Chains A and B, each alone.
Chain A
Amino acid sequence: MRILIVDDENLARQRLRDLIGDIGDHTVVGEALNGSEAIEKTITLKPDLLLMDIRMPVMDGLEAAMHLMGINNPPQVIFTTAYDQHALEAFEVNAVDYLLKPVRKERLASALQKASPVSTSALKQVNKAQEEPSVRTHISVHMRGRISLIPVNDIIYFVADNKYVTVRTTREQHLIEESLVSLEEEFGDNFLRIHRGALVNTKYLKGMEKNQLGHWRVLLEGVDEKLSVSRRHTPAVRRWVRR
């Protein structure tokens, strides 16, 4: 198998390299130091399997795996972790492969043999079980086998429309297949529901105004569009704008 090793610690990567060398039959095609590097290298190197640490700076392993699951022929993923008393049970329950550090050669060999694909929902379950579930730093958009990652900080709003959700940044807009409910659950700290079908990043919330028909709309930084506020959400939005 062609393997990509992902870990922010050099010695941890070195150890996995050594062990894979001992086991034989497999080649290490590259190394990445964090989740976003792992995504880039997965696209260019097309490894069959990722050995990926969970706790990493910039983007953690679980988030990287979630983004990768949307590409064509996603690689298999085996996670590595030094210690996590909360998430391990969730790994077992959701059949997500993991190895405990220091990794044993026999465990690694058998994990490589029976590595199986993971699903996004399984990854989400595992993330929820963590002591501090990580909130995605990026939203991934898949187009013809390519991934583009949009930093959540740059997103002005999510607007739901039938099956898709529109993601709007100052420069671009994309369609993603996620539900507004789960987005609100995940990013609720920074995003405000202003309408049944719209979540707005509070960072870009400039103010609100009434149109001729007497309906409230919000003014957003970075776009000229004004989004309408439903009656039910008006008090909450007004409270935000006053702050």
Chain B
Amino acid sequence: MQPALIKNDFLPDFCNGQTVFNAVLLAESLALILTIVGKQITGDLFRDLLLVSLFVQWIAIFSLAVLCYLRPWLNRLTPLRAGIIAYLLLVGITLLCGELAMWVLWAVGSNPVLHPEWYRYFQLQNLALAVIIDGLALHYFLSRHQLKLSTAAEARARMQVMQYRLRPYFLFNSMNIIASLTRSSPSQAEEATEDLADLFRLMLDEKKSLIPVNKEMSVASKYIRLEKMRFDNRLTDTWKTEHFPLHARMPVLMLQLVLEIAIRQSLEKTSEPVEITISTVLDDGNMNLTVCSHQLRSPEQIEQEEQEALNNIRERLITHYENRATLSLQTNNNGQCIHLAIPVYEGTE
């Protein structure tokens, strides 16, 4: 994703068609209200409306043009400053337009003097209206813009979560394996397709966040089966499992993600055969899931290269268990290990 396209600018784009249209529409509504509620000017309601519209639209368009032109500069300031300056500019523009209107009226001869006696009242009226209307309009455009930005940010975050779950590299590699197996071993291809389908069903399920541990283990073993096909006979897996309580649950696909890290940090780094041991031990109210291999690289190397994946797991543990669950990298007689400790019967969705 290109960060340049989604800059979080405080002020919206005032030059874009939709904004201009909205502003003109707002201005016209204002003109209509002013004409109906305000004092009569010429005696003819339609001529009044025309006159007021002309004046209000003039201010609106001029304001848009100035904001459009100054936006790049304003967006470099802090939001508070940009907002205040934009607001003062708008009020200033209204007063300036009031003054210009006087000059026009004087120039066409409709006003005998440049500043007739009602000039001060007229500008006072403009100032009062500008202070209120510009404030409201600015607020409207800003909140619309903020809403758009936050929706975009949300969509982006969801997208990232999806990508994280789906892991495209794994998807396309598996597809490639299946394509290859359809020729050499159709029955294996069939099995691989089924395993992949099961995995993807879970990956796509946004509602499930905690699943029974038994189910997670069965999915993890399907995942291992797919990776074994990919790495020929280089991968062997040993499971030392103790039975967990039937209803114990854990974050979905977390064991699978740990296995994936283990595979990336062993099989993808060496050409040697790799043995992975998966053990589960229940003690002290904690489920301990440990993935170990002698071919796994050192904790420092893993911590460095898999930072993103490890952080993802740690964040998810915090959401579900606060600080009662841990992920750690350790060494024991099974080699280098990635260790998950999760409290049984706990965790919020």
Contacts and interface: CB of A to CB of B under 8 A. Distances in A.
A143 interface: no
Interface of A: 8-12, 14-15, 18, 33-34, 55, 57-58, 82-85, 100-103, 132
Nearest to B272: A57
A34 B268 CA distance: 11
What 8 A-B pairs come out closest when comparing CB atoms?
A: A15-B180, A82-B172, A102-B179, A101-B176, A11-B180, A102-B176, A10-B232, A82-B173
A15 B185 CA distance: 12
Given A14-B180, A18-B183, A101 B175 contact: yes
Contacts of B270: 57-58
A121 B233 CA distance: 37
Given A12-B180, A33-B271, 14 more contacts: A9-B231, A11-B176, A14-B180, A15-B176, A15-B179, A55-B268, A57-B270, A58-B270, A83-B169, A84-B169, A85-B168, A102-B172, A102-B180, A103-B176
Contacts, number: 65
A103 B173 CA distance: 11
Nearest to B269: A57
Q: Which interface class (under 10, 10 to 19, 20 to 34, 35 or more) fits B?
A: 20 to 34
Dominant secondary structure at the A interface: loop
A34 B181 contact: no
B177 interface: yes
A38 B343 CA distance: 49
A132 B229 CA distance: 26
> Which of A34, A83, A84, A103 has the largest number of chain B CB atoms within 10 A?
A83
A103 B175 CA distance: 10
Contacts of B269: 57
Contacts of B268: 55, 57
Contact of B230 (A11, A102, A132): A11
9 contacts: A9-B232, A15-B176, A15-B179, A15-B180, A33-B271, A55-B268, A57-B269, A57-B270, A102-B175
